[in-house]
Chain A
Amino acid sequence: MLILDIAIRFLKELFRLKISLVVLLAMPAFMGFMFAFAFGSVGLDEAETYTIGIINNDEGIGDGLAAYLRSDPILLNNLPFNETTLDKGFAADFIDILNTTIYQTDEEKSEKRIFSVLEYDDQEIGQQAVEERQIDALVVFPENYSNTTLSAFNNAFFFQNSIYIHNLSYLPYWSYNGPPFPINENSEILIIGDEGYSRYQIAKIILDKIFSIFNEQIKALNYAGGNLGFSLAPITLEEYSIFDIIFPGILVFAVLMQAGMMAAFLVAEFAETKTIARVRLSLIKPYEYIAGVTIYAFVISFIQLSILMVLAIVALGFNPAGNVIEAMIVLMLTIVFTTALGFLLAGVFKSSDTAGQSAGFLMTPLAFMSGAFMEAPTITILPKVFPTASGLNRDFVLWDILPSTHAVNALRSILLYEFSILDVWADVLFVIIPSLVLLFFSMIFYTKRRFRGDIPN
């Protein structure tokens, strides 16, 4: 098949050109190490207090069970909560903890609170506050949060002792006579926010850490009669760095840089080896040539991104929360955008060096505009219209016209916040649709310039 012949030809040329091969393999490694070196030691800001909104839908511990526990001090004293929890539920306990959690800096407690908590009764109002950036994130406790927590205690107890709490009856001086403890109850705490907003990104990381500590504490309940207590030590953010947050942006930057390499190869065929004249005089149709080049770009990008991803996970300490394969799918879709840029550059420039250098100059600001490294200035075009992964509507800003902006957002949501590719459908659509439109026009432009126009001597 001719399209594959063209792709294979480009790949053979690249792999046999040792310098290109070195660049191909070393560039992602270099890029990964460079960014890890630059940002890996930059911790998250421990002087900031993040404002979070709370929607507490927790219906608390069921009345029958709560009444029984109040009447059974032996059991209650051996559970890691007290009568206040029985009155208000676990979510309220948790909210108190969030309110009082402070940073730990250099092994000393600071006086700085991590969160300022605002409680909302209405989720819509809370979401509006997020959209207007009055709060950095909105935490929604589900109705069965307390039951889920009790279920977690009960399940952990069963795991250790092969018996549920409510089945305990063999002690000579005590047996359980109350209603059953919940088992296998599930619920999910929602953390809603704009994944492209840096304060949300950091607040989310801290919240995730607190929830994970809480889950670990539940697992630590390993025998009846212990006194686990439920407390939260001051939080240290030393293990988190800016690198974790910007890594999705680095991946997109790596994809954007592909445009330069692709353009350089295409321009070389036009201006240096002049083999484009042979292609043009043959029966190869422009779309076949373009499709072959696109396949080539996909293969090369896939190799480079895989190297970068593996390196980041294995050697640079990046810990993806979400599905790496889904992230790779988003990146592959972004290559359509890069390919379009590559054809535009190849249609404009007449020397491969100039094309490659110009691509470098263009792609770096493009990455910044896309918010790859830091949040780009907000220039709102349409307020509160663009759906985020957590279901909010955020402003459609100027940079949203760039598919790369949506690639960064989608990757952050998937890799950092564990959303699925389906949750970021809007970003995925805004990656692929404008990219395909741009690819269409860049193909026409390239065809007109290199397959129809003059090829000078």
Chain B
Amino acid sequence: MQTLSELTDIAIEVTNLTKTFGKGEQKVEAVKGISLTVKKGEIFGFLGPNGAGKTTSLRMIVGLLLPDEGKVTIFGMDPKDGKNSKTLKKLLGIIPQEISLYEELTVEENLWFMANAYRIQKESAANRINNLITKMGLDSKRKSLVKNLSGGLKRRVNVIMGLVHDPVLVLCDEPTPGLDPQSRVVVWEFIQNLPKEGKTVILTTHFMEEADRLSDRVAIIDHGEILVLNTPKKLKASIGEGDLLEFDLADDSEEHLQKMADLLKGFTTSKGLTVEDAYISEGRMVMRALNVIPNLAQILNRIEEHGAVVDNMAIRNTTLEDVFINLTGRALRN
């Protein structure tokens, strides 16, 4: 029997993972041969729009879906090999996308059921459950029936349900949709601290802020394929340096926006401005360049001379959303 110390530094290795749903005209290639490695102790983010193949990939990794092709190894073990099943179940914890709780049980009863399901000794289960409840700020709700909790509190319980058995590999599938800001911060901090406890985390999300803030490395996935994989910083740098300037124009027709974008592309000034890129995103015209602030007046003049009326304007840093737009030509939410 392998012990954790004997396990490899690679937590997960995925090779050519493929999954197709449906037949004939209904056939959908959900995941198209993705390959990746997740290092032990990192938070690995899967970022992509809904339907990109994130959850399908994750469910194939944990064995809830059977891949059509490809191979998964978890800490060097093949999940298909029955003799690894028990070890892997102890190592893996999943936080599912949907709220998957026993609504007619209390918070504590839910957690105790999972503790028993993993055959945890009573004393250590009690400690673990208390610890998780406290960390999630659920002390006052431990005796409440889950059905009586708010959506945010249910989501918090949903997170810790998969962690009662203290797994070393945690798979978080969209852990924060629909959460109020307070609960979202609580969940983010909780996930962020998991590597400090020696855990490896795979996170799927379509919130670029979530992926950017939590992930050590991010794979951007779309239409079942990994488009890029790197640290958030390097991904953002990959589309060029500089700040982003967003314009809301009075005439937000695509033709007009495109005309203004084309006008700004390659625009240079004597004050060191070179517009690296300009494009349309969600009804706005966006440009990226170094030294934007000293050249703001000239940029405005440039487009106003050609008939643009600027309603609003904002400067911001590059985000993973921009990386996605750069790669796919559309926004994540689309």
Contacts and interface: CB of A to CB of B under 8 A. Distances in A.
Nearest to B167: A281
Given A12-B104, A456-B65, A457-B59, 6 more contacts: A9-B109, A274-B96, A274-B98, A281-B62, A283-B90, A455-B65
A455 B59 CA distance: 8
A9 B113 contact: yes
A282 B100 contact: no
Given A9-B113, A274-B96, A454-B65, A283 B101 contact: no
A5 interface: yes
26 contacts: A2-B116, A2-B117, A2-B119, A5-B116, A9-B102, A13-B103, A16-B105, A17-B104, A273-B102, A277-B94, A277-B100, A278-B100, A278-B114, A278-B161, A279-B117, A280-B64, A281-B92, A281-B94, A282-B118, A282-B165, A283-B86, A453-B66, A454-B66, A455-B65, A457-B97, A457-B98
B224 interface: no
Interface of B: 55-56, 59, 62-66, 86, 89-90, 92, 94, 96-98, 100-105, 109, 113-114, 116-119, 145, 161-162, 165
Interface residues of A, number: 24
A282 B105 contact: no
Shortest 5 CB-CB contacts between residues of A and residues of B: A282-B117, A13-B104, A16-B104, A274-B100, A455-B64
A278 B116 contact: no
Contacts of B105: 9, 12-13, 16
A454 B104 contact: no
Interface in A61-106: none
A283 to B, nearest CB: 5
Contacts of A284: 117
Contacts of B118: 282-283
A454 B90 CA distance: 21
Interface in A257-306: 273-275, 277-284
Contacts of A17: 104
Contacts of B97: 457
Contacts of B119: 2, 283
B121 to A, nearest CB: 13
Nearest to A15: B104
B93 to A, nearest CB: 8
Contacts of B100: 273-275, 277-278
Nearest to B146: A273
Nearest to B85: A283
Contacts of B165: 282
Interface string A446-457: 000000011111
A13 B103 CA distance: 8
B94 A275 contact: no
B45 to A, nearest CB: 19
Nearest to B65: A454
Contact of B64 (A14, A275, A281, A282): A281
A12 B104 CA distance: 7
Contacts of A9: 102, 105, 109, 113
Nearest to A457: B55
Contacts of B113: 5, 9
Nearest to A18: B104
Contacts of B117: 2, 5, 278-279, 282-284
A97 to B, nearest CB: 63
A400 B272 CA distance: 93
Contacts of B116: 2, 5
Contacts of A2: 116-117, 119
Nearest to A275: B100
A9 B103 CA distance: 11
Contacts of A14: 104
A2 B94 CA distance: 21
B64 A454 contact: yes
